[in-house]
Chains A and B, each alone.
Chain A
């Protein structure tokens, strides 16, 4: 043991390390969330927390539960695959409590041009018009029914 006689201070220094390490392990036990590592190197509960975020768009199935009449009109027209909330905006609140929330009617003067304003960048086969030439600024629903817009399909007013 004589080799350690004058090395006592080194053991004290090492002792500090060991003590600090033990304190670290104890704190770690308390601080690391319990679900950490459940599925991988992350907090397992995070998945459920993210999945619990509120839904804002109801989804077209929810709309069609009540509005099957509109769906019938839409299904035979050019807007068959345009979902309700693509034009009407997020309506989850209305779907949850139809009586209390009435969705505002979209303004066709500004809504339709978002898709149908003519641009050389859009696919050539997509129906598009230069609004000023086409209607002279008159709102689109003057001639087109939004749910079945093609005039040939009887979608005109």
Chain B
């Protein structure tokens, strides 16, 4: 049998969860992480990160809108997916997740963005003409009340929404971890640590994502990067990463020490089939290198340019590393046989419905949506100066 070493149960040879199912926790992780960063300012009053507040929310929304797409493409019958809302099976984590997603999208993210942007939306609805103006007017829900008091009410309600949003974000991504962690049939997945590891790695990836996007966007706008802001973000990234790494090491050490029936098989898999993605990409390049880089900035005083370069590099490596972590969980969990006697190979297509190109496209799509959202609901109060200069 091609690609099989040792013995696999006959139905296990082909993987049923593809790169699209790797993409899904990655995307929802970015959402949860970006939201937590936004909540740092709103709830915990970390003023330093205020320049990234609106960007973080729009980033979260862009990724959350794309999140169902890999799932729809993966399903054998996507047209039946409303069944999850009409007849959710209450013992299924996946079914409950449908509602968690909807709750988070509407009652947290959209609500919070709307509340924060409402004044701008009302003003834009009065200034803009044509179809776009119509869109803005629809977004006001017919209310043009932007009095002091109404905005104050928005501020208070928004604070409560963010407060509720923090556990909601944990639920959003913790649930994805639980979807894997609750499967007793698969020892690579089954662990009470799984939801916790997923939450912390989500926070790491989300914070890194907003940091990198903020640096990129500011450069594209021809503005100055607020160093105090990204110094603070980098600090949160560093400490969150330490916790995430500790949790993953705990899982590893526990497995090695207990050495249960699955250990020999999983250990062999990590050293052979998953060597590149797990040891090289996830641990070395994706965790140890960024941690070391960030540690350097935390203990030494480096000039601004050096810090920016380190943050950028560490951020990108982190994003790659967390993707590798999702890959190692989802794909790794299907590469070994539940008989612990063999291994198979993941044959990823290139142009197929669940292939690499589609995955890459879906990964880029949120950036496209973000670009539209930034144009529609500018996170920054002044218009880009280099565009004004060009228009002269």
Contact = CB atoms under 8 A, between A and B. Distances in A.
A36 B83 CA distance: 12
Interface string B82-115: 1001110110000000000000001100010010
Contacts of A16: 141
B246 interface: no
A13 B145 contact: no
B46 interface: no
A156 to B, nearest CB: 40
Q: Do most interface residues of chain A lie in helix, strand or loop, or is the interface mixed?
A: helix
A31 B111 CA distance: 29
A8 B157 CA distance: 13
B87 A36 contact: yes
Given A7-B150, A9-B143, A32 B118 contact: no
Contacts, number: 38
Interface in A1-58: 5-10, 12-13, 16-17, 24, 27-28, 31-32, 36, 41
A58 B86 CA distance: 41
A8 B147 CA distance: 12
Given A6-B145, A9-B141, A13-B114, A32 B86 contact: yes
B87 A17 contact: no
Given A6-B149, A41-B87, A12 B106 contact: no
Contact of B143 (A5, A8, A24): A8
Contacts of B143: 8-9, 12
B142 interface: yes
Contacts of A12: 141-143
A46 to B, nearest CB: 13
Contacts of A17: 106-107
B85 A9 contact: no
Contacts of B348: none
A44 B149 CA distance: 56
Nearest to A3: B153
Contact of B153 (A6, A24, A31): A6
B86 A9 contact: no
Interface in B125-154: 140-143, 145, 147, 149-150, 153
Interface in B146-167: 147, 149-150, 153, 157
Contacts of B118: 9
B123 to A, nearest CB: 14
Contacts of B141: 9, 12-13, 16
Contacts of A24: 85
A6 B85 contact: no
A1 B354 CA distance: 55
Contacts of B142: 12
A31 B90 CA distance: 19
A32 B145 contact: no
B82 A31 contact: yes
Contacts of B114: 13
Contacts of A32: 86-87
B150 A6 contact: yes
A155 to B, nearest CB: 37
A42 B114 CA distance: 39
A6 B86 contact: no
Given A31-B82, A41-B87, A10 B147 contact: no
Nearest to B110: A13
Given A13-B114, A17-B106, A7 B153 contact: yes
B145 A8 contact: yes
12 contacts: A6-B149, A7-B150, A7-B153, A8-B145, A9-B118, A9-B140, A9-B141, A9-B143, A12-B141, A13-B114, A17-B106, A41-B87
Interface of A: 5-10, 12-13, 16-17, 24, 27-28, 31-32, 36, 41
Interface of B: 82, 85-87, 89-90, 106-107, 111, 114, 118, 140-143, 145, 147, 149-150, 153, 157
Q: Closest 3 A-B residue pairs measured CB to CB? A: A6-B150, A9-B143, A12-B141
